Amino acid sequence: MKFALRADLLDFTHAPAWGSTATDGLRFRPDHWLLVDGGRIVGAQPGHQPPGTDWQLHDHRGRLLLPGFIDTHVHCPQLDVIASYGTGLLDWLNTYTFPAELRYASADVAHEGAARFLDALLAHGTTTAVVFPTVHKVSAEALFEAAAARGMAIVTGKVLMDRHAPPGLLDDVTGAQADCEDLIQRHHGRGRNRYAVTVRFAATSSREQLAMAGALCRRHAGPDGVYMQTHVAENTDEVRWIGQLFPEARSYLDVYHAHGLLHERAVLAHGIWLDAADRALLRDTGAQIAHSPSSNLFLGSGLFDWQAAIDTPHRVSLASDVGGGTSLSLLRTMAEAYKVQALRGARLSAWTALHSATLGAAESLGLAHEIGHLGTGAVADLVLWDWACGPVAVQRDAIARGAVPGAAAQDLHARVFAWMTLADERNRVATWVAGRLHSG
Ligand code: GUN
Ligand code: ZN
């Protein structure tokens, strides 16, 4: 089915310079038609040149069209514990998170939870995510099935954890390996599903399990190989505990390196308490940090040093980390990321923020041939947004556009930055996945 969407098209062709509000790397095409055929983007042309009568036209001029956001770290079962009061990471896991995850042993809970979670992602403008389910095989299975039913590209895998958690959340090395191999064989590379070897964090896996996870990564390596996801250096108590559990390791990150878990397809959440040698290791292995500012603020974990990541350089993408994070909205997450950098005395441009949740994430995941931009050939994972929602944002947008008498028009960055800071899921008008309109 051929259709064309008229809107202001915003995406990136390469990474914008850190700290710059200049438009290098940005591709902004105000009032253009985006042409979609067979679920893929096939071109774009100016608003005054509509395509022929064989195209179904959707005229949304005055709205904003972006590639769907990519959330590189989020927990499906933790929607049930979002906004839980009063704890830092380790207490929060024991008090709220582990009890919630225990429920996912039930196939019914897992399937209902996966459907609710993916529909919520789409309603927040996120079309691809790297997702933690639970230790239960059925919870990964449910996510793969629910994503396939929606046509979404998803990266997930059964969580590995064989110690330091309630018995109902523990697996063992042999059984976990068999489950992973079976899930990889049946789901990895099937449609848009991709498998991630999922180590919760070093504290909940024995050395034997970490070695098994590393062997899985080696056995299924390559450009279409499996991913690896975990947490690293989020909280100072956690870092201290890892030091006690692995006294032989140079650092927390080094535990993963020693077990063969750092590679181009590795996604590590947080990375707040790293040193220069850790960052160099991220650079040399190609592993990425999924920066999760809303979670880092909510759990009081710390302020991520994005400038150091740029200086190294190593890869950074953006993540909600719900339920440590307090919103699935990557726009709200960007606003939080700006504030975290402001507290560090740095400034996060709207361009770097938006790039890190679109093309930047797609490139870090090796998926830029498919997602993260509005170029010809990409899969049509699209989100249409209102520039402003509510009287405060409407006035702020009018000021930026120069539509208020006496107020000089501001540059494009100022307008997009105000949108990024004020907008959330209420600004979302519609989401398409592989060219199919999502009904939620
Ligand atoms: N570290 C280990 N597990 C988790 C989790 O579920 N959330 C966060 N934020 N950190 C973790
Ligand atoms: Zn997490």
Model pLDDT, residue 175: 98
Q: For the chain, which residues make up each domain, given as ranges?
A: 2-67+373-386+423-437, 69-364
Task: Please report the pLDDT score of residue 1 as a whole number.
Answer: 80
CA-based nearest residue to 419, from 328, 334, 293? 334
Q: What is the pLDDT of residue 113?
A: 98
For a mutational test of ligand 1's pocket, the pick from 84, 91, 97, i.e. the residue with the most ligand atoms closer than 8 A to its C-beta, is 97
Measured between alpha carbons, how far apart are the two ends of the chain, in Å?
Answer: 21
Query: For the chain, what's the residue count?
Result: 440
Instruction: Indicate the CATH number for domain 2-67+373-386+423-437.
Output: 2.30.40.10
Distance 290 CA to ligand 2 centre (A): 9
Query: Directed axis angle between helix 173-187 and helix 207-219, to 10°?
Result: 20
pLDDT of residue 293: 99
Q: What atom of ligand 1 comes closest to residue 97's alpha carbon?
A: 6
Q: Which ligand is nearest to the CA of 97?
A: 1
Mutational test site, ligand 1, from 72, 81, 92, 93, max ligand atoms within 8 Å of CB: 93
pLDDT at residue 98 tops 80: yes
Name residues whose C-beta falls within 8 Å of residue 47's C-beta, 6 or more positions apart in sequence.
6, 31, 32, 33, 61
**Residues around ligand 2, an ion, CB closer than 5 A:** 269, 321
Q: What average pLDDT score do residues 259-286 get?
A: 98
Q: Tens digit of pLDDT for each residue in 215-269? A: 999 999 999 999 999 999 999 999 999 999 999 999 999 999 999 999 999 999 9
Q: Is pLDDT at 196 greater than 80 in this prediction? A: yes
CA-nearest residue for atom 9, ligand 1, is 324
CATH number of 69-364: 3.20.20.140
Q: Averaged over 46-59, what is the pLDDT?
A: 97
Return the percentage of the chain with pLDDT > 70, whole number.
100
Per residue in 310-343, pLDDT (tens digit) is 999 999 999 999 999 999 999 999 999 999 999 9
Separation of 89 CA from ligand 1 center, angstroms? Answer: 7
Mean pLDDT of the chain: 98
User: How far is the centre of ligand 1, averaged over its atoms, from the C-alpha of 240 (Å)?
Assistant: 15
Nearest ligand to residue 165 Cα: 1
- Mean pLDDT computed over 351-375: 98
Residue 439 confidence (pLDDT): 80
Answer whether residue 440 shows pLDDT above 80. Answer: no
Q: What is the pLDDT of residue 319?
A: 99
Which ligand 1 atom is the nearest neighbour of the CA of 234?
A: 10
Whether 278 has a pLDDT exceeding 90, the answer reads yes
pTM score: 0.99
**Number of helices and strands in the chain (H, E):** 16, 16
Residues with CB under 6 A from ligand 1: 75, 89, 93, 97, 200-201, 231, 234, 295, 321, 324
Q: What is residue 18's predicted lDDT score, i.e. its pLDDT? A: 98
**90, 139, 231: which to mutate for ligand 1, most atoms within 8 A of CB?**
231
Q: What are the pLDDT digits (tens) for 380-403?
A: 999 999 999 999 999 999 999 999
- Percentage of the residues of the chain whose pLDDT score is greater than 90: 99
> Are 432 and 382 a contacting pair, CB within 8 Å?
yes
In terms of Cβ atoms closer than 10 Å to its own Cβ (0-12, 13-18, 19+), residue 277 is exposed
Segment 109-123 shows an average pLDDT of 98
Q: What is the CA radius of gyration of the chain?
A: 21
Instruction: Tell me: pLDDT of 83 over 80.
Output: yes
